[in-house]
Chain A
Amino acid sequence: MFNSEQNHWFVRKVIFWRAAASVAWSVLLLPVTTALFAFLSRFSLFHPIQWISESFSLLYGSYVIFSLVLLCGVVLVVGVFNLEYYTVVPSVPCTKIALLGKVLHPQQSVHSLVHSMMGIMVTWCAATMIGGRYWILAAPCSEEEGVTGQKMCLNEYYLFFLLAGAFMGYSYSLLGVVRNMNYVSFQTIQQCKYLRFKGMLPQVVRYSAVQSLYSVRNYCLFYFFFGKDSDCLLLYTKHSSLHRLDTVSGLLDFRLLYHLWLSGTFLLLTWHITLLLFRIFITEAYSFPVQSSFSEDVSQCLPKVLSEKQPLILKFLALQDLFLLSQQSLSRRMEVFSLSQPGGHPHNWNAICKECLSLLSDLSQRLVEYQEVVASNGRARPLSSHSDQRSTSSETLGMSTLIISSLMSLQILSIDIGLKTPSSSPFSSSSVNRFVGNVDPSSPWYGSVQSPHVMRRGPKLWTASTGRLKFAHVKNFLARRVLIMYLFNKLPEASSQALFADSQAHIWALEGLSNLVAASYKEDRFGVVQTMLPSILSTMLLLQEAVDKHFKLPHASSKPVRSTCCLEDSTFKTLRFALRAALKTAMYRITVTFGEHLHSVQMSAEHRKRLQQFMEYKE
């Protein structure tokens, strides 16, 4: 797992230290949560004094100290996993099958396995701290006789507890995948870390408690149905358990459920706090120098860092820094607008501007390609080679986009065959058949393809009809299988989300660039920005056009359901709206600043017309 990315100077010097600091703080918070847990686990309403005195005596006990050491280890491992698995660009699965693939991915399996084991460890600690009947795995079968040769039985409470830990650990990992918990989003405002943590803590506590409640419910159901099998796994034979817990009466033990819920909350809370601290530390703004007089530091300067592709977090932090400097820091803006000392070239500005523009034009390109794929969905394409090319060209867009586009092109093909092949060349049928072997049966066009009219007419007009009929049978067969249909059914608007998954970078690029351009009106003494103004405007207008077109597609402008919780970060779901707003704001910022002067900027007539709309506030 330690690939070349980890050896990058930024990861070594900054990210590791930030992660280490976050883990250190979670370890420091551990005694507090543990003490609270110990306190609440002994809760008794009717003996408050006994409760308090018992809790205090417990806190000094050696078990608690030992548990703390163990829990520190657990938090450390969770921290390492957070660092290994975090991402700033979420992967949005577009179909159920893609989601399933994500869950069953080997990397994810390691995650789940380790978290289950750690869950067992945490609940073991919890069980030890609670003590009493959760103390040890084996218990004497009958309480009254203390003679030797006593038969030992299985203490099912203990087993129940440990399995609950494994279950909760696994569900934490599973939900993490489904809800993209490893996605790290950046805050809209820059608060200091302590205040951010303080503000989020109540929500995290509430979230952990609620999640633990759900976990307990699911676990109890699970245990009720599969409890017998779990016994068989152990060497203890049947009938050895003192209390049977896989019965309704056995499970309706209120004290047991309370302890289970409390332990679950404790487990989730420690892990969620670790996750929260990790996110807070990792997304903290980092200030890169704009230029350096030492040649060895040049690679760490903002213009250089912006153009790097690899650690995505570095690119994101650099763009965030660009956004902040363009808004807040006059002196750093002056450095951006400055000329290089020998030569007098605006290297800093050129590099920054070029990188931002390439980011933006990449996005427009991506959107245009996607629109072509979608637009051809409803229109006839006589040659399948077109869609062939399209699906190969879109491979560069990453896995998720590939899935969309290939599925799309398959859909197109199926329409092509169904509706238009009579008029098109029969020679294309071989390549068509190659594709239709695994066609998406859930396509909305499926019904129209299968209309009896076309079916009847097909054989008459086309010689290669037998293969087509077979194919239709296969499709019919597949479509009837509900499971397959369910798995391949595209999630609405997921493809839109996937397209804009990394748009936070584009938003910062837009904001940073437009702020710099606006500031240049007064601060740019050498006129370095003016030379780039035509290309900045045309790039933004092109993007504007592409985005406008994208929002006319179905599902693109529907608002996704937002989770209210802080930890399930669904910022990526609405990034396309944020991008659209940021783009307009950026355009207006430039037009408001330059006003009538923009008329003297060279641009195409179409763009000028569009710009005029902005200058008249009609967008």
Chain B
Amino acid sequence: MNSLSLFPPPGPDGNITLFESNNELVCGTSLGSRQKQGWEPPSLLFPRESLKPHSRPESSSKAAFLDHRDTLWMRSARAWRDSGLSGLLDEIANCTEEEVPRWLTVGCSWTLALLRWVSSFHGSLFPHLTLSSEDMVAEFSQVLDWSDCAVRAFAWHPHTDKFAVSLLDDSIRIYNSKSATAPTLKHRLQRNVAALQWKPLCASALAVACHNCLLVWHVDPTSLSTRPSSGCAQVLSHPGHCPVTSIAWSPNGSLLLSASPVDTAMMVWDVAGESCVPLQRVGGGGVTFLSWSPDGSRVLASTPSALFRVWETRTWTCERWPCLKGRCQTGCWSPDGTRLLFSVQGEMVIYALTFTDAPGSSKAAAIVADLSETSFSTSQGQVRVGGQVQTMAWDPRGERLAVLLKGTEPEPVISQHILLPVVRSHSTTSIGFVKGESGAEPRLLQFHPHFPNGALLTVCWSNGRISHVPFFFVSAGGSVLNPGGSPPWPLPQSRAVENGERLLYTEMSS
């Protein structure tokens, strides 16, 4: 088991982490101190001040614009459409005497009170249901402090050097290595973006989890337009399935999963046909986070309660995993899909689960890392690091794990490899903490899906900066590190083989 005390102390203030080489993180003062090689992803800055969030509380604008002299029927119909039964009852209960008979208003207000009482009872079972939908997204998002973050979601394209960034003003920008145009995507329904993901085995489709629907954008990579029309977006919605907080494409690109903390069903979308199959499991009161294993065989689905499920995708049956402390906050899969790392709210540890097809394998989560608070003495004095895990990312080669901790500034980076596969125990060695500009906190992590020389971690910071930190290392499978030249583009399949073999038979000294 690894713990934070084994980490080298974080670098001095004022320095930022530039890259990793020889298993050490190199700090420096400017980004330019490393030689360029090939395409460098642009380090972007989105200042918080330049982005205006949408401030449109529904109730206030409604009162300002609607004509109140509509007939009762019109208003009722609108209330029914806007907010369902409770809206209708509320509308009738607030009517004047001359419009509706008194008994009807009284009946409606009583029914409404009863309804609220019942829903408050339901809310006491599942406290997250009492949150407003924006707070709910902030609570269950993988982004730390989502509601105040300039960058709300980030997604690398799985095959090319292209990424999408969702910003505070509900727009999405796409940056491509091959073209200078950066299209901006805006849509009427694109509000409170909680997650983004590119469709695998496709160049153009980008799924966006929005406030009350899912959008699938088809951004033509050859188009020169900077503002694709909203006709390029497919709207996928299902009644009762909002806000959507997490989405996951199947690795073969055929299915899209979406989850909402309000809906106990997880939706399996056939995007081209715009149809969905709900997979309903009542326990847990909703689904908050989804993660599809890279080999496509399993899906992690966490709920707002102390319970998460692991679905297998052949016949879509699930295993229930009750946690003791709190809900499962985040999870990530090893590249071969056999191991799952996850963290639980309220505990400062990372658990690991191993899945094998063989029956009789032990079914218990093992603690692999302890992240409880540790103090380091640096040149500036004591620095305390530690806390709960907000999000994790495992690089596609399976050798670096980045963990974002809640409540502390720098995030630790742990190198991961297996010591003895026969006994199925794990070990991690520590690499260090990644530091950003002074005053900036990390908010979101993602690894580049196919960085040729190791791994490339993309970090979104609280000051709106998106930076990329490369980790140069030799993959134990034998591919030669050649930072100066242009190494051959590794193929995903061959890489998977290497991974599988390395994880089983080799031991890395680092």
Contacts and interface: CB of A to CB of B under 8 A. Distances in A.
Contacts of A582: 254, 272
B274 A188 contact: no
Interface in B229-255: 252-255
Interface in A569-619: 571, 574-575, 577-578, 580-582, 584-585, 588-589, 592-593, 595-596, 616-619
Interface stretch (A162-170, A190-198, A305-313): A190-198
Given A188-B268, A192-B317, A589 B493 contact: no
B367 interface: no
B492 A592 contact: yes
B60 interface: no
A522 B498 CA distance: 12
Contact of A518 (B271, B277, B493): B493
A578 B253 CA distance: 12
A618 B273 contact: no
Nearest to A285: B315
Contacts of B157: 617
Nearest to B253: A585
A595 B491 CA distance: 7
A187 B201 contact: no
A189 B268 contact: yes
Nearest to A572: B273
A324 to B, nearest CB: 9
B315 A199 contact: no
Counting chain B CB atoms within 10 Å of each CB, the highest count among A521, A574, A581 belongs to: A581
A535 B367 CA distance: 52
Counting chain A CB atoms within 10 Å of each CB, the highest count among B203, B222, B272 belongs to: B272
A562 B274 contact: yes
Given A518-B493, A574-B272, A592-B159, A190 B314 contact: yes
A423 interface: no
B280 interface: yes
Nearest to B269: A188
A327 B493 contact: no
Counting chain A CB atoms within 10 Å of each CB, the highest count among B160, B203, B279 belongs to: B203
A328 interface: yes
A255 interface: no
Contacts of B268: 188-189
Interface string B295-325: 0000000000000000001111100000000
B406 to A, nearest CB: 35
A188 B277 contact: yes
Contact of B222 (A188, A522, A581, A618): A618
Given A188-B255, A618-B222, A595 B315 contact: no
Given A190-B316, A511-B254, A585-B254, A559 B203 contact: no
A607 B202 CA distance: 19
B314 A328 contact: yes
A418 to B, nearest CB: 35
Contacts of B272: 574, 577-578, 580-582
B252 A585 contact: yes
Contacts of A511: 254
Interface string B344-376: 000000000000000000000000000000000
A210 to B, nearest CB: 15
A328 B204 CA distance: 27
A617 B255 contact: no
B274 A199 contact: no
Given A189-B268, A592-B201, A593-B493, A617 B252 contact: no
B202 A585 contact: yes
Given A195-B316, A328-B314, A189 B493 contact: no
Contacts of B492: 592-593
Given A188-B255, A589-B201, A592-B201, A617 B221 contact: yes
Contacts of A581: 202, 271-272
A571 B314 contact: no
B274 A522 contact: no
B273 A577 contact: yes
Contacts of B255: 188-189
A30 B394 CA distance: 53
Interface string A458-476: 0000000000000000000
Contact of B270 (A188, A327, A588, A589): A188
B489 interface: yes
Given A521-B493, A574-B273, A588 B316 contact: no
A601 to B, nearest CB: 16
Interface string B113-156: 00000000000000000000000000000000000000000000
- A-side interface size class: 35 or more
Interface in B445-494: 489, 491-493
B252 A589 contact: yes
Given A195-B316, A619-B203, A189 B491 contact: no
Nearest to B496: A522
Contacts of A187: 277
B41 interface: no
A569 B276 CA distance: 12
B499 to A, nearest CB: 13
B275 interface: yes
Contacts of A618: 203, 221-222
Given A328-B314, A585-B252, A588-B202, A617 B275 contact: no
Contacts of A521: 493
Nearest to A586: B201
A199 B268 CA distance: 13
B271 A192 contact: no
A522 B493 contact: yes
A522 B497 contact: yes
A48 B82 CA distance: 36
Nearest to A190: B315
Contacts of B254: 188, 511, 582, 585
B87 interface: no
B326 interface: no
A128 to B, nearest CB: 37
Interface in B97-115: none
B275 A562 contact: yes
A189 B274 contact: no
Contact of B203 (A199, A578, A588, A589): A588
B228 interface: no
Interface string A285-312: 0000000000000000000000000000
Interface in B249-290: 252-255, 268, 270-275, 277-280
A111 B204 CA distance: 47
A199 B202 contact: no
Interface string A500-515: 0000000000010001
A522 B493 CA distance: 8
B159 A617 contact: yes
A578 B202 contact: no
A192 B493 contact: no
Contact of A584 (B202, B278, B493): B202
A297 B451 CA distance: 50
A199 B316 contact: no
A189 B202 CA distance: 20
Interface string A514-530: 01001001100000000
A189 B271 contact: no
Contact of A574 (B203, B274, B489): B274
A188 B316 CA distance: 11
Given A188-B268, A577-B273, 6 more contacts: A199-B277, A584-B201, A584-B202, A585-B202, A617-B159, A618-B222
29 contacts: A188-B268, A188-B270, A188-B273, A188-B277, A189-B313, A190-B315, A190-B316, A191-B316, A192-B315, A195-B316, A327-B252, A511-B254, A515-B252, A577-B273, A578-B273, A581-B202, A581-B271, A585-B201, A588-B201, A588-B202, A588-B203, A589-B201, A592-B491, A593-B491, A616-B178, A617-B160, A618-B203, A618-B222, A619-B204
Please provide the 10 A-B residue pairs with the shortest distance between their CB atoms, ordered closest to farther.
A578-B272, A581-B272, A617-B203, A588-B201, A574-B273, A577-B272, A617-B160, A188-B270, A585-B201, A585-B253
